[in-house]
Chain A
């Protein structure tokens, strides 16, 4: 069974940092591109970033709203995905979901991890 379990969220002050993790199991992690998507309270879905698989050189793309502040990484030996979030702003407050890419879309399995940026 495919599982994706997000962790690492919490309350952080503006300007602070947080590191999210996603533990994957039940599929060949190294074969898949992986992504982070977020959802602000009461709002819709927003794509944050994607990191491709090894065959595609682990290339990375970011949304303009997080570029230069967030860093995505993966460890294929540990089946894990991480998101280092720096210089956090109030508008980064959201539930963060990790997803595996399926032919141009995303398969989400976890409940997400909540990030709250507030003083």
Chain B
């Protein structure tokens, strides 16, 4: 199984400032078709998970452009350019390359 790790596990951030979350996979997430099957999901308190980024860097429908995904191979980053109050929650990276699909442990983003 592909193991997903995230750092940090908790991230106190200042409103209006940037934030960054790292994710690493135990093997490359690049498919033979050239796509990288790494995605990011946000879970606000008491809410279901929400898809933010798929295929490494594609923002899903309705996701603000302050969210961006980058990386390559086994190392990935989610960046929030300017943190807003509604960004508080837990962020998960996920690999969709092969079953069993696996998630990182989550990074809790909270306001300082």
Cα distance, A102 to B50, chains bound together (Å): 12
- Contact residue range for chain A? 20 to 34
Question: Are A104's CB and B55's CB within 8 A?
Answer: yes
Interface set of B (CB-CB < 8 Å, partner A): 35, 37, 39, 41, 43, 47-51, 54-55, 58, 60, 90, 92, 94, 96-97, 99-106
Given A97-B49, A107-B60, also A44-B55 (CB < 8 A): no
Question: Are B106's CB and A44's CB within 8 A?
Answer: yes
Interface on chain B toward A: helix, strand, loop, or mixed SS? loop
Question: Are A45's CB and B49's CB within 8 A?
Answer: yes
Contact indicator per residue, chain A 21-45, by CB within 8 Å of chain B (1) or not (0): 0000000000000010100000011
Partner pick for A61 among B60, B99, B103, B105, CB 8 A cutoff: B99
Chain B residues with CB under 8 A of A110: 48
Question: Are B49's CB and A104's CB within 8 A?
Answer: no
Cα distance, A115 to B58, chains bound together (Å): 33
